[in-house]
Amino acid sequence: MLRRLLQPFWVLLAIIFLIEAWLWDHLEPVVARIVAAIPLRSLKHWLAARIETLSPALTLIVFVVPVVLLFPLKLLGMWLLMHHQWKLALATIVSGKIVGVGVTAFIFDVTRSKLLQMGWFAWLYEAVLTLRSKASALVEPIKQRVREVVGELLRGNARGWSARVVRQILRFRRSVQAR
């Protein structure tokens, strides 16, 4: 019973996790193009050379620094929300998220080999990859159903759509109550 009640929470958590993973996957190539276009390539080589001289523990500090530096941007977004500056807050939070994921992807690319030398970090990295796979499997049926509904709507088959949704909700509700 508790498992059924927590299912929407786990699905929401999986969706949030997959959005983060999607951002990571799609920003990493963008960051690579930016690095190729501007002199960040030399910065990357310089940073990689410096990291080679560091211990894995000190490399972890290099990896965490961007997160700490971007924290004030998140606080600014929260402050803007508290002062009802919705659009500016959303722009600040979204841009901070994009910059944060992009910078983290860049730094992780440079520090990955050193970080994976630490047993706990390698375990955590594998656990995150496993969690990502499980989250994807959990959300895939929902994504497929959304694709089907959107496809029906785009093809103009919206007729009777709301009645079908209500029937599915009622069927789901009865199945949850039955357990």
Grade residue 9 by pLDDT with cuts at 50, 70 and 90: confident
Residue 155 lies in a domain: no
Number of domains, the chain: 1
DSSP assignment of 11-58: HHHHHHHHHHHHHHHHHHHHHHHHHHHSTHHHHHHHHHHHHHTS-HHH
Residue 175 lies in a domain: no
Q: How many C-beta atoms surround the C-beta of residue 128 within 10 A?
A: 12
The model's pLDDT over 91-148, given as tens digits with 9 standing for 90+, comes to 998 888 777 877 787 788 888 889 999 999 999 889 888 888 888 787 788 778 877 8
Which among 73, 129, 132, 143 has a CA at the least distance from the CA of 103?
Answer: 73
**Residue-wise burial string across 72-81, b where 16 or more C-beta atoms lie within 10 A, e elsewhere:** ebeeebeebe
* DSSP H helix total and E strand total for the chain: 6, 0
Q: How far is CA 67 from the centre of its chain?
A: 15
The model's pLDDT over 20-51, given as tens digits with 9 standing for 90+, comes to 777 777 766 776 676 667 666 677 788 888 88
Grade residue 154 by pLDDT with cuts at 50, 70 and 90: low
pTM above 0.85?
Answer: no
Asked if the model's pLDDT at residue 58 lies above 80, the reply is yes
Domain residue limits at 46: 2-138
The model's pLDDT over 158-172, given as tens digits with 9 standing for 90+, comes to 555 566 676 677 777
> 97 or 61: whose pLDDT is higher?
61
Looking at residue 40, its pLDDT comes to: 65
